[in-house]
Amino acid sequence: MKPLEIGLFVVTSIILYGSVFGWLRGRKWFGFAASGVVFLVFHVVVDGVRVQMIPLYMLFAVCGLSFWVRRVRGRGLNQDTKPKRWKWIIVGTAGTLALAIALIVPLYLLPIVKLEEPTGPYAVGRTDYHWVDEQRAEGFTTDPDDHREIMVRAWYPAELTKKAKKASYAYEAEEARLVESSQPFYIRAVLRSVFQGKNHSYAEVPVAEGEEEYPVLIFSSGYGLSNFMYANQAEELASHGYIVFGIEHPYYTLLPTVFPDGRITEGMVEFTDDWKSMDEHMKVWVEDVRFAIGKLKELNQRDPQGWMTGRLDLERIGMFGHSFGGAATVQVMDQDLRIRAGVNMDGFPAGAVIEDGLQNPFLFMISSDLKRLEVEQVSKKGFDPAGEEYMKRKKGILKNGGTEVVIAKSDHMSFSDAMLYSPLLGKRDLSILREINQELLQFFDEYVKGAPSERKSSNLPIGRFFHMELKALLWDPDLTNIYL
């Protein structure tokens, strides 16, 4: 909650309990009521109306309305009478419950998002790029002259200037308005707290002078999610000396993609969960990523914004992605050996079937929920056809030195900032975020920053992960690189 919201909550509490217990009457009541109105007005002007605060708005209004009802009935608050005990109990209990709800909604169920502080030595800068692929038609619009265009957000080691200002977490004010206007009410309730999120990036600042060139990481977001929803990971990596380019795949996101000219995408492509459908749509994602890789060379030669020119080390490129974006990482690595190392975060291995592994270091980071599902399937002594296909593809990509890491106590959304949005969207555990960030940093430090080396499963100590995963080793002896 913000200061003005806290002030409104405190005044509402005083009015509520003062009225219940009978010690707030006459001018005192008017004084606190007037203070509440002032807090409310300034809150609306400064912070804007927040859906999360509706329970508090309603409670404040009820407190005021109850007073005027009593006045109309000739029972003003100046009367020196004590409330009846049964009324005291009922109203006091109901009011306490209402105050609890007014706190729980904005503080727990729909809080303002706050990212973890990056641990690296660099400050973090942020800028956005809009790239149009003139060689590809846009298959998701009705205009045959439309070309595929993507938005890319870059996080990078930054040199802060005196005029440096914090970047917005998600969108600028006008962009946020466009996005909110296209969403139903129940989605806006979450969006407002997300859009007011607190991150640690600074907008449009120079790249840090610490190194002449910085290694590059490409990120592909999960199906339905936008690139800003992984700022926690991107800021952490950027603070340790990486330039991270987060690709958003238009028409595959729940929130519309906003282009610089104010256009927003309409609708989200839906595909079935069968392998054929996923494999077909994967082609679009892979082409988006490969197009972005090509644009990096141009950006390094001449960045129109001036930040990246000559600062990208295109001999050191890594890639990671979540969910469908994680599967895209695998496919891009199989086609483009410029990707020195890659990480798939909890993504089903959609796309072309890979039978003999990848040529460069690869990490399959999966949730304990997914691993538990695998173990349960095996305990039933057999998979359904979809499960069999999943295990076949998984084994294929892990051959040739691929490594699987299970993140303890995690679920699918643990690999994004969504776990900070609301406990309704997934497990809320900051230790999981830190564990994921640590795994990413260690992996890329070794295989992107460092000299190429043969990956060995003994690099990480045994016993790092949740003990419930022990059964995973017992049923699949071929996956000898699983870490516990």
DSSP per-residue codes, 398-436: HTTT-EEEEETT--GGGGSTHHHH-GGGS---HHHHHHH
Question: CB atoms < 10 A from the CB of 109, how many?
Answer: 16
Angle at 314 between CA 309 and CA 320, to 5 degrees: 115
In tens, the pLDDT along 282-293 reads 999 999 999 999
Helices 3-21 & 26-46 angle (0-180, nearest 10) = 160
- What is the dihedral sign for C-alpha 428, 434, 439, 445? positive
pLDDT recorded at residue 67: 66
Same domain flag for 232 and 277: yes
- Decide if 481 is inside a domain: no
pLDDT recorded at residue 42: 82
- Decide if 117 is inside a domain: no
Asked if residue 341 lies in contact with residue 218, where contact means CB atoms within 8 angstroms, the answer is no
The string of DSSP codes covering 81-131 is -PPPHHHHHHHHHHHHHHHHHHHHIIIIISPPPBPPPP-SSSEEEEEEEEE
Same domain flag for 61 and 165: no
Q: How many CA atoms lie within 13 A of 365 on its CB side?
A: 33
- Decide if 422 is inside a domain: yes
Same domain flag for 80 and 143: no
pLDDT recorded at residue 479: 34
C-alpha span between 304 and 387 (Å, rounded): 47
Angle at 433 between CA 296 and CA 105, to 5 degrees: 115
Same domain flag for 51 and 133: no
- Name the region of 413 (left: φ>0; alpha: ψ -120 to 50; beta: rest): alpha
pTM as predicted:
0.82
148 DSSP β-pair partners:
133
Q: What is the CA radius of gyration of the chain?
A: 27
341 DSSP β-pair partners:
318
C-alpha span between 197 and 238 (Å, rounded): 19
127 DSSP β-pair partners:
154
Contacts of 290 (CB under 8 A, 6+ apart): 332, 335, 336
124 DSSP β-pair partners:
157, 201
**Phi, then psi, of 251 in degrees rounded to 5:** 75, 5
Residue linked to tokens 């977490």: 169
For residue 422, give both structure tokens: 């609301």
Same domain flag for 160 and 41: no
With b for 16 or more beta-carbon neighbours within 10 A and e for fewer, the 75-97 pattern comes to eebeeeeeeeeeeeeebbeebee
- Decide if 184 is inside a domain: yes
Q: Is 359 helix (H, G, I), strand (E, B) or coil?
A: coil
The one-letter code for the residue type at 315 is E
Residue linked to tokens 């003999």: 356
Same domain flag for 328 and 453: yes
C-alpha span between 300 and 305 (Å, rounded): 11
Asked if residue 215 lies in contact with residue 241, where contact means CB atoms within 8 angstroms, the answer is yes
Asked if residue 390 lies in contact with residue 346, where contact means CB atoms within 8 angstroms, the answer is no
DSSP count for the chain of H helices, then E strands: 14, 9
* Total number of domains in the chain: 2
Q: Please tell me the total number of residues recorded for the chain in this structure.
A: 484
Contacts of 387 (CB under 8 A, 6+ apart): 377
For residue 168, give both structure tokens: 């917005």
Q: Which residues of the chain have pLDDT under 50?
A: 77, 80, 451-484
Same domain flag for 58 and 171: no
In tens, the pLDDT along 101-128 reads 888 887 777 788 899 999 999 999 999 9
pLDDT recorded at residue 380: 67
Same domain flag for 345 and 445: yes
Residue linked to tokens 């045959």: 144
CATH code of residue 417: 3.40.50.1820
pLDDT recorded at residue 426: 66
Q: Is 278 helix (H, G, I), strand (E, B) or coil?
A: helix
End residue of a domain, out of 82, 109, 136: 109
Q: How many CA atoms lie within 13 A of 4 on its CB side?
A: 16
Q: Is 275 helix (H, G, I), strand (E, B) or coil?
A: helix
**Of residues 180, 27, 63, 201, the one with CA closest to residue 128:** 201
**Phi, then psi, of 130 in degrees rounded to 5:** -120, 115
- Residue 7 structural domain: 3-109
- Decide if 308 is inside a domain: yes
Same domain flag for 318 and 453: yes
End residue of a domain, out of 56, 82, 109: 109
Same domain flag for 163 and 277: yes
Residue 423: exposure state from Cβ atoms within 10 A (0-12, 13-18, ≥19): middle
- Decide if 86 is inside a domain: yes
DSSP state of 381: T
C-alpha span between 397 and 417 (Å, rounded): 27
- Decide if 116 is inside a domain: no
Same domain flag for 41 and 180: no
End residue of a domain, out of 42, 77, 109: 109
Same domain flag for 463 and 372: yes
- Decide if 38 is inside a domain: yes
